[in-house]
Structure 1
Amino acid sequence: MAVVFVGVLGSDLGVSQGEPHFARQLHRMAFTSVLDLTSVDFVADAHEAAVLRIADLLRHPDDLANKLPLLRKKVAMERASVEAQLKTVMEGQLDGTQRGIDALRNCRAETARVRDALAHMDGLCAEPQNAIKNYTLIKRMSRTHQNFVATKAMVEQFQLINQQLQRIQHLLEEDAVKTIGPAESLLFVHYQLQQLSSFRDATLVKARGCSSDVINTLNSMFKKLEQIEYKFDIYLWNLAKVTVELVKAGYSSAVVRMVKVIEAEERADEMAAIEEEESERAHMRRSRTVKSYRIRFFDVLREAIQEEMRILYDANRNDTAELLRAADGVVDTLIIVNDDVVPLFPKRYNIFHFFVLEYHRAIYEITKKLCEGDLDPATILQLIKWVRDYYANMSARLDVSEDLLEPRLLDGREEELMGEYITLVRSKLTEWLSNILQTETVDFLERRNPPETDGTGQYLLTGSVIIFQMFNQQLDVVATSSRGQLLHDVVMECCNVLDEFQAAWVKILDQEYAKFVAKANDLAEGLVEYTMALANDSLRSSEFSETISRRLEGMTDESVRQAVLARVRSTMDGFMRIAKRGQQILVDIVMSDIQPALNFLHCQQWYEQDIMRLIVGTFEDYGDDFQKHLSEYVYGKVTSELLDRYLVAYIETFKNKNAKYKMPTAVERMHSDLELVLAFFVKTKNAKRAKASFEVIEKIIALLEANPRMVFLDFYALWKAYPDIPLEFIEKLLGKRDDLDKAQLREIMESCRAKAKEERQENVPPTIFSKISMK
């Protein structure tokens, strides 16, 4: 293939030894290109492709005879087509190459002509004085003319300067009347002042060699210009101070004009810096003072922000809550800056970042001042909450992370402030608790007047209400600042105070009851009434605790919720223990009142007097007071415990030392007593439960009235229901019957012991007899 292509190229181009060198060069280029195309890899790939194609076309031996002539013709046609296409392409490339070479040749010739012309001009300019007649005179006249034109322009400018300054001053005063305005003449005034300033600077530079009188005269003429420049700067920086207010008022164009003025001055400063370098090299004085308007602009903005926050602080320094609410407006201002002010400034100003940092530094100073004095608990919480909300708002509304806001508000003293708050809360709660206990305990100990009552006649104390009001107030305050650790710590402190409150009441209650038992002379009347009041109050406190527990369940974070609720439940259990202790003391007092009468049951006095009616009368007296002045829950608990205690005490009376059962009178009286006391307890509790509770008495009475021959059956019924009943109790009980002799008693007890031994049960659950003493 490579040989074929070379042959085609050679024949088509008609290259011979007699052709010009250029044609031979093209021939070599074409030949080299062909050789490059036919590299070893290309030949190998072509050979492989050819073999595959021949294998595809000549699959059978017969194909050599049948298909070979046709294939030769086809390949010849394809070869002719390829050669024709290649010839066309090569001709086009050669024509393009020839045109490029011609263009290069023409360019080279033009370049040579330009070089010769420039050399000729350089020769003409080298010696103008020799070529031009009167050259020195002409040069002097030209310079004189230039000076005359410059002087004329300067004189004309001096003639117009006062008129220009008056116009500029008038426009400036019109705009300056209303700082929050469109500032329509700002750019024109600045341009005119800039031109006049340039004229002044240039004039003073030219006059630097003149006498002092001339310099003083020029300074006097330019004095008004300096005054207007001063006023212009004041107006411009007043605009800078109210940049945000201008945008709020819809005067964004005024801000744009202000920025253009600053940018123009910045460019002038850059030019002045370049001139300064040149002046230093030429040992000349520069004509313009660098103004640094952009630096001054940021300084003015900084001062304005600081002044704004200083005014805000001074106006609300005595009201921390109002001060912090006013400081919330910073975030709203920054939103306006981000949305409306930033687009008015070049990006390199980074104006939003500047506003954020300056406002943040001002906020930092305010919070620092707040922390310098003695803070009350409410202020500490307000400050902590506000700082957290501030960082959250900056992140959520402005996408400014807390890490970018330096310095950190409160200097990272949040934990320290929370510790101070907890200390203050502890101090306040302890003080309040001491005052409440002092008032409450004096009333409880002296008992000069009956306890206070609510609308239903229940006795109550007022201390718990105040305590839980304090608790709720602390929760209200701290819940606005924290749902986590701080709330947890406050709840713990409140619960600790409540624990002290409970311990104080338990101690006082036990001391007063000890005086009652000892029949102390200094015991005041009304212990029952005040004990009822304390029990009611403790129950109410437990309900308060439950309410707070439900409230805290929705207030606290998950991280501290379980610990907080467990602590409140513990406090609630403490109040229930006080209520239970009060219930026990009330029952103890009632039982101590009836104990003398119980000691006479089943004795000689019992047969002579209606002692059970005295006991039930005592029950009724106390019961009426309990029902009237105790809460329903406490009343139910008291009557239930009184029933249990009476049952134990009554069973104990069967062992009274002087008890003797005169049959059948004793049994009849027992039935009468049982009916009387059961009627009382049925009124206080559910009748079915009361009757069930007295079942043990009925079985004991049945055992007493049983026929000596049938006692065994009644014993078995009693022992089956109460398997822990001591046999000694049965023996003492039957031994007091006057109708049984010792032999009969011995026979009965032997059968009872045998039956108990025969059907003895393991792990017998305790019954009422587990409370009976056998002494």
Structure 2
Amino acid sequence: MSSDPLQQVCDLIKGDLSLERVRDIKEQLLKEKSIVEYQLNKESDKYYGGVEESLKLLNLSKNSVTSIKQQINEVNKLGNDNRFAINRYDILFRATKLYETINTTSSIYDRIYNFVALMEHIERLLVAELAEDALETGCPHLLEIHFLLTSARDFQEQVVVMAKEATEDAQRTVMKLFSRLSGIISKFDKLLDGLTYDIVEMARAEQISLAIRLFKIYDLEEREDLRIEAIRNIIKKKEIEIEKTSIKKLPNSKNTARLQDETPKVIEYPTNKGLYQEIMSGTISTRTSPRGYKHFLINGINNSISEMFGEMKEKYVGDQKFDVLDNMDWVFNELIIVKEHIANCCPPHWNIFEVYFNQYYKELHSLITDLVESEPETIIILDILAFDKTFQDTLKQDFGFTKSEVKSVIGDKEKETLFKDYLNLIVVKMTEWIGNLEKAEFDVFLERSTPPHSDSDGLLFLDGTKTCFQMFTQQVEVAAGTNQAKILVGVVERFSDLLTKRQKNWISKISGEIKKQINYNHKYDIDPESITPEDECPGGLVEYLIAVSNDQMKAADYAVAISSKYGKLVSKAYEKQITNHLEGTLDGFAEVAQCSSLGLITLMFDDLRKPYQEIFSKTWYMGSQAQQIADTLDEYLLDIRPQMNSVLFVNFIDNVIGETIIKFLTALSFEHSFKSKNNKFLEAMKRDFEIFYQLFVKVLDGNESKDTLITQNFTVMEFFMDLSCEPVDSILDIWQKYLEVYWDSRIDLLVGILKCRKDVSSSERKKIIQQATEMLHDYRRNMEANGVDREPTLMRRFALEFEKQ
């Protein structure tokens, strides 16, 4: 037994070695053995039967070959015996050949005598058929004409071959005799050409009999051409062999030298002499060379299709050139008739549908290429792509083409070029549209001659975003209507790029106006009379910044809606591309909204420069700077809240709280000494802390995020008071706890506090700063080593620039 069965047995008896268990296992294995033996016997019988049958067939083949060989030997023996048994066999043989020659000559004479009458009869039939509409009459004499003309042409070709072996006088006579035939052949070809042109019309006119007779003629011609080509090849090989044999038998003499000196003549095989011998022996009884009517049929079909497209191109010219795309159903109708009717009338090996289809495809490709090279407008490009899509779908649905068999009527490379052309044109147009829109909305933003619009909820907005996405949606809808996923994705991608540029332009304009307003405010505070017309700033910047922020929320909603709607129309791969492009714009909208919000905050806190500069100064301890700041912020927030999107307002308040605290702590840069006597500093801090806390609790009343927002921002104030008031030896412990919350903070906060504490000497400050800096670096290194990824905090942007060193 192999290792595998042994292992199976071991597995079966593992854990149970009772006799009953062994008996059961034995019975199980015996059953399996019986099943395997049965299957082996069944397969063996099957293959044995096949081998036995093959041996029988082999024996039959051997017997048949042996029998045929014996019969051939008997025929050869009988032929040789008879030849020598008959007295004067050679004389009888030559007499027989002479008799055959006399009969052949007599037959030729009779046919020559009646040839003129035959030509006249054929010509009358041809003239009658050419004069009538074959689709109405059914061309009743078609087969008769072909039969008679074929006989005449066979006779002509044979006689011409014979004449070339006779005198020149005989050759001239033959040329004169058959001079009329070429004209009759031309008329017949004209008749065939006309019928070939109307093959599809025959089916429409229910002249199926005519189509069958026409194809019978082409089929006969094809078979006769193949036959004579085979005979000519046999004659050629025979003559070449004879030529080689005669060259080998030439003796080495002066004749050989003379033959070598002569320029060899190019001999075309089969020679006329070889054809003549085969005609006289009866091997060639019809034509002597192929006539190529199968090629004539293919050319006729191709020319008829080309002519139809030529007429169509003449009809659609100038401004109507592209209207041809709306009138191409006839192509599919023609192909349907060929597939369902014409293909049944001719030999299957012709693949007549493929012949028609290839020519239609060639002409359609040429037509579409002409349209593409005419540099069409975007809508025409979409029409071309739509036609190509319809063409491919029709081939699959109505003609049974597989996906691998279907090809673009435009051409794969040309199609890619067309995609690029369309997208380039769209980019040009959309860039122009967006450019005009931006100019209009930026002019409104910069001039601010009228207030922004208000919606039904009182939220401020501008017209630009809605108009922009109307353009976007319109182009995406058009692209989606083409059923071309690449076009749809391309439009989304290009428009997303334009949206990104627009977002950057908005940020630039907003930043410029904020800077201009701040400069104006500072100049005005210093010397109002120094203001020049260039410094003047229109009012309403706060309202416009609110409107721009609100517009970004709407824009994000529009983008998500487009992604959701049109992503479902394409495959998963293309849907992902659409989603990625539009999600990329969402970050831009958030950035513009953030820029607007921060611009508002900049304006708000610029109004509070003076009270913030007095923080920690002597006047601060008994002053009302914090209350002044809170009152001003309260006024701003009361105006902004009902005009700003609620989601944006929560984020805005978060930034306002953070900025309030950051500005407060930034007063450390003035290095005012803390008055710790009688807890003056601590009491003043608690007072201001309470003022700010009450302000933001009131503003956020009813908001679910109130506690979170206040806690996240005000925690730093608690650390600030601890670092400012607790004993010096506990500073580093407090700093360690501070880093656990504000891990991305600089050392600036601690430096500023220590410079303002009177109880910390210069040497102690340096030592504490050094240790605190090492703690900061160690904490960040540990985070990086452990792969900890945390959200940025409020203190990431806190920095001090000390006015005195």
TM bin, normalised by shorter chain, reads 0.5 to 0.7
Structure 1 counterpart of 2:198, one-letter code = V
Percent identity of equivalent pairs: 18
Give the match for residue 631 of structure 1.
645
Separation of aligned partners in 1, 2:536 and 2:195: 85
Q: Which moved more, 1:586-595 or 1:499-508?
A: 586-595
Instruction: Determine if the alignment matches structure 1 residue 431 to structure 2 residue 471.
Output: no
Question: More deviation in 561-570 or 248-257?
Answer: 561-570
Supply the distance in 1 between the matched residues of 2:227 and 2:667 (Cα, whole angstroms). Answer: 120
Paired residue type of 1:368: T
Structure 1 residue 183, shift from structure 2 partner:
1.0
Helix, strand or coil at the partner of 1:514: helix
| Amino acid paired to 2:518 | V
Q: Distance in 2 between matches of 1:335 and 1:291?
A: 31
In 2, the alpha carbon distance for the partners of 1:553 and 1:491 equals 10
Question: Which residue of structure 1 lines up, in the alignment, with residue 357 of structure 2?
Answer: 356
Distance 1:539 1:592 in 2: 26
Distance 1:302 1:314 in 2: 18
Q: Match of 1:437, as an amino acid?
A: E
The question of whether the paired residues in 2 share the 8 Å contact of 1:201 and 1:288 is answered with: no
Name the structure 2 match of 1:240: 196
372 and 291 in structure 1: CA distance in 2 versus 1, 3 angstrom threshold: same
| Residue 725 of structure 1 pairs with residue 720 of structure 2 | yes
Q: Which shifted more, 253-262 or 490-499?
A: 490-499
For 1:376-395, list aligned pairs within 5 A.
376-380=377-381, 383=384, 390=391
Alpha-carbon deviations, 1:202-261, whole Å to 9, x = none?
Answer: 9x99xx999x9xx99x999x99x979x877765543331121232245432221122234
| 1:535 and 2:549 matched | yes
Residue in 1 that maps onto 2:297 = 297
Contact (CA 8 Å) 1:452, 1:459: kept in 2 or not? yes
**Deviation at 1:421?**
4.4
- Report the CA distance between 1:444 and its aligned residue: 1.0
Q: Deviation at 1:533?
A: 1.7
CA displacement 1:337-393 (0-9 Å, x = unmatched):
344322311345442332233222212321331233324445456546755775676
- Could you give the per-residue CA deviations for residues 169-209 of structure 1, whole angstroms, max 9, x where no partner exists? 66775xx34x545716244663697599789989x99xx99
Q: Distance in 2 between matches of 1:609 and 1:492?
A: 55
The alpha-carbon deviation at position 454 of structure 1 amounts to 3.8
Matches within 5 A, 1:107-126: none
What are the equivalent positions in structure 2 for 1:575-654 lying under 5 Å apart? 575-593=589-607, 616=631, 619-620=634-635, 623-627=638-642, 629-646=643-660
Distance 2:720 2:565 in 1: 50
Q: Please tell me whether residue 765 in structure 1 is matched to residue 741 in structure 2.
A: yes
Across the aligned residues of Structure 1 and Structure 2, the Cα RMSD in angstroms comes to: 6.4
SS in 1 for 2:552: helix
Matched, 1:686 2:702: yes
Question: Which residue of 2 is the match for residue 185 of structure 1?
Answer: 140
Counterpart position of 1:346:
347
Residue-by-residue CA offset, 1:139-175 (whole Å, 9 max, x unaligned): xxx9xx99999999899x79x979x9889866775xx
Contact 2:343–2:352 at 8 Å: present in 1 too? yes
Q: Give the distance between the partners of 1:653 and 1:152, measured in 2 at CA.
A: 132
Say whether the 8 Å CA contact 2:426–2:491 is kept in structure 1.
Answer: yes
- Give the letter aligned to residue 203 of structure 2: V
CA contact (8 A) 1:395 1:402 kept: no
Q: Distance in 2 between matches of 1:454 and 1:379?
A: 39
Task: Give the drift of 1:488.
Answer: 5.6
Task: Give the CA deviation at 1:311.
Answer: 3.2
Q: Compute the displacement of 1:465 (Å).
A: 3.3
Do 2:216 and 2:346's aligned partners in 1 also have CA atoms closer than 8 Å?
no
Alpha-carbon distance between aligned partners in 2 of 1:598 and 1:152, rounded to the nearest angstrom: 131
Distance, in Å, in 1 between the alignment partners of 2:674 and 2:327 is 87
Larger Rg: 1
Residues in 2 aligned to 1:727 and 1:430: alpha-carbon distance in whole angstroms: 57
Q: Is the 8 A contact 2:546 2:644 kept in 1?
A: yes
CA shift, 1:678, in A, is 4.0
Match of 1:523 in 2: 537
Going from structure 1 to structure 2, the CA distance change for 1:459 and 1:319 (only over 3 Å counts) comes to farther
> Structure 2: which amino acid aligns with 1:523?
C
- The 1:147–1:483 alpha-carbon spacing in structure 2 relative to 1, beyond 3 Å, is closer
Cα offset, 1:582, TM superposition: 0.8
Q: Secondary structure, in 3 states, of the residue corresponding to 1:519?
A: helix
The TM-score, its normalising length taken from structure 1, stands at: 0.58
Structure 2 counterpart of 1:185, one-letter code? P
Moved more, 312-321 or 298-307: 312-321
SS in 2 for 1:545: helix
TM-superposed deviation, 1:477:
5.1
Aligned mates of 1:418, 1:757 — CA distance in 2: 66
What is the deviation of 1:459?
A: 2.5
* In structure 1, distance between residues paired with 2:795 and 2:400: 77
Verify the 8 A CA contact 1:590 1:622 in the aligned structure 2: no
Q: 1:483 to 1:165 in 2, by over 3 A?
A: closer
Deviation of residue 267 (structure 1)?
Answer: 8.2
Equivalent position of 1:707 in the other structure:
none
Question: Do the aligned residues in 2 keep the contact of 1:599 with 1:656 (CA within 8 Å)?
Answer: no
Letter in 1 for 2:650: G
TM-score by length of 2: 0.56
Instruction: Show CA shifts across 1:504-529 (max 9, x none).
Output: 11111011001111116321111112
Structure 2, unmatched stretches of 5+, are 1-73, 161-167, 233-270, 281-285, 522-534, 743-792
Which runs of structure 2 are paired with 1:268-347 in the superposition (5 Å)?
Answer: 293-316=293-316, 318=319, 323-324=324-325, 326-327=327-328, 330=331, 333-347=334-348
* Partner residue, 1:87: none
Q: Which secondary structure state, in structure 1, belongs to the residue aligned with residue 539 of structure 2? A: coil
Separation (CA, whole Å) in 2 of partners of 1:512 and 1:478: 38
Question: How many correspondences in the alignment?
Answer: 592
2:508 maps to what in 1? 507
Give the whole-Å Cα distance in 1 for the aligned partners of 2:323 and 2:129: 43
Please state whether the residue corresponding to 2:341 is helix, strand or coil.
Answer: helix
Does structure 1 retain, via aligned residues, the 8 Å contact 2:626–2:692?
no
**What SS does the aligned partner of 2:719 have?**
coil
The superposition leaves residues 549-584 of structure 1 with CA deviations (integer Å, 9 ceiling, x where unpaired) of: 435644565556656544432321011011011112
Aligned equivalents of 2:712 and 2:288: distance in 1? 119
Kept in 2: contact 1:678–1:690 (CA 8 A): no
Q: CA deviation at 1:682?
A: 3.2
Instruction: Give the structure 1 partner of residue 462 of structure 2.
Output: 461
In 2, distance between residues paired with 1:404 and 1:598?
75
Question: Are residue 569 (structure 1) and residue 583 (structure 2) matched?
Answer: yes
Q: In the alignment, which residue of structure 2 is the partner of 1:498?
A: 499
Q: Is the 8 A contact 2:462 2:551 kept in 1?
A: yes
Task: Spell out, residue by residue over 1:631-675, the C-alpha distance to the aligned partner (whole angstroms, 9 max, x if none).
Answer: 2322333344334444666788999989999999x999x999968
Structure 1 residue 544 corresponds to structure 2 residue 500:
no
SS in 2 for 1:524: coil
8 Å contact from structure 1 (residues 460, 534) kept in 2: yes
Q: Distance in 2 between matches of 1:298 and 1:342?
A: 14
Equivalence for 1:365: 366
> Is the deviation greater in 488-497 or in 537-546?
488-497
Higher normalized contact order (CA 8 Å, seq sep 6+, divided by chain length): 2
Change (3 A) 1:672 1:472: closer
Cα 1:310/1:453, change in 2 over 3 Å: farther
Q: How much has 1:293 moved relative to structure 2?
A: 4.5
**1:335, 1:398 within 8 Å by CA — same for their partners in 2?**
no
- What letter corresponds to residue 244 of structure 1 in structure 2? V
Letter paired with 1:765: V
> Contact 2:461–2:547 at 8 Å: present in 1 too?
yes
Structure 1 residues without counterparts, runs of 5 or longer? 1-103, 129-141, 698-717, 731-748
Deviations 1:667-689 (CA, angstroms, capped at 9, x unpaired): 99x99996899478536542676
Q: Between 475-484 and 537-546, report the one with greater CA deviation.
A: 475-484
The aligned amino acid for 1:725 is F
CA contact (8 A) 1:241 1:304 kept: yes
**Distance in 1 separating the partners of 2:141 and 2:82:** 57
